[in-house]
């Protein structure tokens, strides 16, 4: 069987070897080099496509065109596509350097036997290349063609074949229990600049309900952004529906005061929303629609935030090209498309890491004055006399993923844990997989403290998804 040759990104050899004459070893050497393919982006593709100019070599023009088509698809799979002409770089669908070798039978069939790769190519120019796009070289021709590769369709093909991992999965062909859920939210800066604010503890904070009820452009942009993410396999939580759920559940957390410490905890509206929506990732979106003559363009700033810690895990910002697109949603799509693959790749990598190393939360433990002892009280625990704070520390070591956590404060009245890594899921009493959040994770500790020899009642207060306060001594 004739094997595949890949040529991508850079300058090939001065005297290229004839395609049909290469051995498997020679082809593998070409594939393994970072100077194999010549590809340049010609613009931002629409509807999940990549627009590019790509070169191919062959003994005649027709063979060179065929090779260029293969190179365009191979670039998307193995090497990624460089940025340019308003497009951000696109990562390889299969970044594993051994991907082709591990799946050689599949790719032989894909590129050669069945020619499946042709399903993902659209030529954007007609006729035979000419001028500088058709060069006579030693042993044949070097030609350039302009194509669109159906990138998202190609991704799905490779996912379905088990060659690459699906979004939200840990490895190729292995799907995890859940995928990361997304909720698109207007940024603080956007809401404040438009006057969509309310007061919380004396500060102006976003009023999402007012924003959605008032700003038609915002609704269109959020809908378009959500649709783009859904098309790429991310389950969505709708902001407007989650706000209604929040109202219906009356989910505002009561302010509590510890009698000894005077400390308290109260959720901001965004933390209440996170806790009710239970989204994994918040897409924080800021944008403005600008005019340039008779045309419009959009400036945007998109951040992917961990809903549990508010840490940024991905970001993209830029300006779209002037366009006659009728709505802000279409302007956003034109501006954001070239950034989506890298952005989504970062979100997926982050979520996969959480399945391996756990998601991060914070835990604070305090005591009511009614508790007749403090956290330095000693108890007989598993044959050892230990202070209560050390017994709690042992529980954390046993239950955190890979024992990962940081104890930032430890006194007779307060214990603080940060960077606490908790599992993504756990099996319930019936053996069913359940998602784990900060509250459900820490309930195991409260159950232990409620038993002999401690007999300590504990009240749990939750702040958003990723922070809990335990107050020992009363329910």
Give the model confidence (pLDDT) of 175-190 as tens digits: 343 567 899 999 999 9
Q: What is the pLDDT of residues 201-227, one digit of tens each?
A: 788 889 999 999 999 999 989 998 888
Same domain? For 118 and 215 the reply is no
Could you count the other beta carbons within 10 Å of the beta carbon of residue 113?
Answer: 11
The pLDDT, as a whole number, for residue 387 is 95
| Confidence bin at 45 (pLDDT 50/70/90) | low
Query: Is there a contact between 217 and 289 (Cβ–Cβ < 8 Å)?
Result: yes
Q: Which long-range contacts (CB under 8 A, 24 or more apart) does 396-403 make?
A: 396/420, 396/445, 399/441, 399/444, 399/445, 400/358, 401/357, 401/358, 402/357, 402/358
Residue 369 domain boundaries: 358-472
Same domain? For 196 and 321 the reply is yes
Same domain? For 216 and 104 the reply is no
* Side-chain-facing half-sphere of 359: CA atoms under 13 Å: 27
Q: What is the pLDDT of residues 91-131, one digit of tens each?
A: 788 878 788 888 888 988 898 888 899 999 987 776 788 88
Q: Which tokens sit at 263?
A: 């400390």
Query: Is there a contact between 263 and 257 (Cβ–Cβ < 8 Å)?
Result: yes
pLDDT at 436 over 60: yes
466 falls within a domain: yes
How many domains does one find in the chain?
A: 3
Angstrom distances, CA of residue 311 to CA of 30, 250, 308, 360: 41, 27, 8, 10
pLDDT at 68 over 80: yes
| Confidence bin at 253 (pLDDT 50/70/90) | very low
Q: Which tokens sit at 222?
A: 């959020």
Same domain? For 203 and 351 the reply is yes
3-state secondary structure of 65: helix
Same domain? For 286 and 219 the reply is yes
The pLDDT, as a whole number, for residue 263 is 40
The pLDDT, as a whole number, for residue 36 is 57
Please say which residue of 324, 356, 388 terminates a domain.
356
pLDDT at 20 over 50: no
CATH number at residue 307: 3.30.160
Describe the chain by its helix, strand, coil percentages, rounded to 5: 35, 30, 35
Query: Is there a contact between 418 and 408 (Cβ–Cβ < 8 Å)?
Result: yes
The pLDDT, as a whole number, for residue 168 is 46
Please give the biggest Cα pair distance in the chain: 91
Q: Which tokens sit at 472?
A: 């020992």
Same domain? For 153 and 26 the reply is yes
pLDDT at 54 over 50: yes
Q: What is the pLDDT of residues 239-252, one digit of tens each?
A: 999 998 888 765 44
Q: What is the pLDDT of residues 355-407, one digit of tens each?
A: 889 999 999 999 999 999 999 999 988 888 899 999 999 999 999 999 999 99
In which residue are the tokens 């410490």 written?
Answer: 261
DSSP 98-142: THHHHTHHHHHIIIIIS-GGGGGEEESS-S---GGGEEEETTEEE
The pLDDT, as a whole number, for residue 200 is 84
Same domain? For 28 and 154 the reply is yes
pLDDT at 440 over 80: yes
The whole-chain average pLDDT of the chain stands at 81
The pLDDT, as a whole number, for residue 255 is 41
Q: What is the DSSP letter of 160?
A: H
Cα(246)–Cα(271) distance, integer angstroms: 11
Same domain? For 371 and 413 the reply is yes
Query: Is there a contact between 361 and 466 (Cβ–Cβ < 8 Å)?
Result: yes
Query: Is there a contact between 282 and 318 (Cβ–Cβ < 8 Å)?
Result: no
pLDDT at 193 over 60: yes
Q: What is the pLDDT of residues 138-152, one digit of tens each?
A: 889 999 999 989 888
Q: What is the DSSP letter of 323?
A: B
The pLDDT, as a whole number, for residue 281 is 92
| Confidence bin at 35 (pLDDT 50/70/90) | very low
Q: What is the pLDDT of residues 284-293, one digit of tens each?
A: 999 998 888 8
Query: Is there a contact between 148 and 154 (Cβ–Cβ < 8 Å)?
Result: no
261 falls within a domain: no
258 falls within a domain: no
Q: What is the pLDDT of residues 309-320, one digit of tens each?
A: 999 999 999 888
214 falls within a domain: yes
The pLDDT, as a whole number, for residue 176 is 41
Query: Is there a contact between 358 and 423 (Cβ–Cβ < 8 Å)?
Result: yes
Cα(201)–Cα(213) distance, integer angstroms: 24
pLDDT at 451 over 50: yes
Please say which residue of 290, 322, 356 terminates a domain.
356
pLDDT at 11 over 70: no
The pLDDT, as a whole number, for residue 353 is 85
pLDDT at 78 over 70: yes
| Confidence bin at 2 (pLDDT 50/70/90) | very low
7 falls within a domain: no
Q: Which tokens sit at 457?
A: 């009642």
DSSP 265-318: E---HHHHHHHHH--SEEEEEEEEEEEETTEEEEEEEEEEEETTT--EEEEEEE
Q: Which residues pair with 146 in a beta bridge?
A: 53
Residue range 423-447: mean pLDDT, rounded: 86
Same domain? For 228 and 292 the reply is yes
pLDDT at 15 over 50: no
273 falls within a domain: no
> What's the alpha-carbon Rg for the chain, to the nearest Å?
28
Same domain? For 340 and 193 the reply is yes
The pLDDT, as a whole number, for residue 89 is 76
Angle between helices 438-449 and 388-399 (to 10 degrees): 140
Cα(45)–Cα(334) distance, integer angstroms: 8
């Amino acid at each position: 069987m004739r094997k595949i040759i890949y040529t991508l990104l850079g300058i090939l050899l001065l005297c290229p070897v004839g395609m049909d004459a290469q051995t498997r070893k020679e082809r593998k050497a070409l594939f393994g080099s970072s100077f194999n393919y010549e590809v340049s982006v010609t613009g931002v593709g629409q509807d999940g496509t990549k627009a590019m100019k790509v070169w191919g070599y062959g003994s005649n023009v027709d063979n060179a065109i065929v090779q260029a088509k293969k190179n365009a698809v191979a670039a998307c799979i193995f090497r990624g596509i460089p940025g340019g002409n308003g497009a951000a770089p696109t990562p390889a669908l299969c970044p594993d350097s051994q991907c082709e070798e591990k799946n050689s039978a599949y790719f032989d069939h894909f590129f050669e036997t069945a020619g499946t790769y042709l399903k993902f190519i659209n030529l954007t120019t007609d006729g035979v290349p000419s001028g500088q796009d058709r060069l006579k070289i030693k042993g044949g021709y070097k030609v350039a063609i302009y194509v669109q590769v159906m990138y998202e369709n190609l991704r799905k093909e490779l996912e379905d074949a088990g060659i690459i991992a699906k979004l939200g999965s840990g490895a190729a062909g292995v799907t995890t229990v859940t995928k990361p859920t997304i909720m698109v939210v207007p940024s603080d800066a956007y809401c404040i600049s438009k006057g969509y604010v309310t007061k919380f503890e004396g500060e102006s904070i976003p009023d999402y309900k007012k924003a959605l009820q008032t700003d038609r452009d915002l609704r269109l942009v959020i809908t378009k952004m959500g649709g783009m993410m859904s098309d790429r396999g991310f389950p969505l939580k709708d902001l407007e529906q989650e706000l209604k759920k929040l109202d219906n559940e009356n989910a505002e957390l009561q302010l509590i005061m510890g009698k000894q410490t005077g400390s308290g905890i109260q959720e901001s509206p965004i933390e209440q929303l996170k806790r009710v929506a239970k989204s994994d990732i918040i897409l924080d979106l800021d944008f403005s629609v600008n005019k340039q003559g008779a045309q419009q363009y959009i400036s945007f700033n998109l951040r992917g935030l961990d809903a549990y810690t508010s840490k940024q895990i991905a970001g993209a910002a830029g300006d779209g090209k002037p366009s006659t697109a009728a709505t802000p949603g279409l302007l956003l799509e034109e501006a954001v498309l070239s950034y989506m693959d890298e952005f989504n790749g970062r979100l997926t990598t982050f979520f996969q890491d959480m399945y391996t190393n756990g998601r991060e939360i914070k835990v604070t433990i305090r005591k009511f004055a009614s508790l007749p002892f403090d956290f330095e009280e000693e108890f007989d625990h598993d044959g050892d006399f230990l202070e209560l704070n050390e017994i709690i520390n042992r529980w954390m070591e046993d239950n955190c993923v890979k024992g990962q956590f940081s104890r930032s404060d430890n006194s007779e009245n307060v214990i603080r844990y940060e960077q606490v890594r908790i599992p993504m899921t756990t099996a319930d009493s019936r053996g069913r997989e359940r998602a784990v959040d900060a509250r459900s994770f820490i309930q195991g500790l409260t159950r232990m403290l409620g038993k002999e020899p401690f007999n300590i009642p504990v009240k749990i207060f939750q702040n958003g998804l990723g922070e809990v306060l335990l107050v020992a001594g009363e329910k």
